[in-house]
Amino acid sequence: MARIIGGIGTSHVPTIGVAFDRKKQDDPDWTPLFKGYAAVAGWLAEKKPDVLVFFYNDHATTFFFDHYPTFALA
């Protein structure tokens, strides 16, 4: 039987997906935001979950205006 080991929530800025895709993690304007995710990355590396269910809003990074969902399941 599956066991839920945690829930992670985060605030975001609409352009974070674009900044990530363009590898701006070391850009001085973006570094503080991306550093905020380091604790979660460490926790996930420690726990090594078998499955991650991820709900997110895309803001047109992957989808475009002809297919613009409010939420997507990845």
Rounded average pLDDT over 26-53:
93
Model confidence band, residue 49 (pLDDT cutoffs 50, 70, 90) = very high
**pTM assigned to the model:** 0.62
pLDDT band at 70 (very low <50, low <70, confident <90, very high): low
Helices and strands: H and E segment counts in the chain: 3, 2
* pLDDT, mean of residues 18-27: 93
CA distances to 11, 45, 61, 62 from 72, rounded to whole Å, are 16, 24, 12, 10
| Residue 65, token pair as written in the block | 């205006």
pLDDT above 70: percentage of residues in the chain: 73
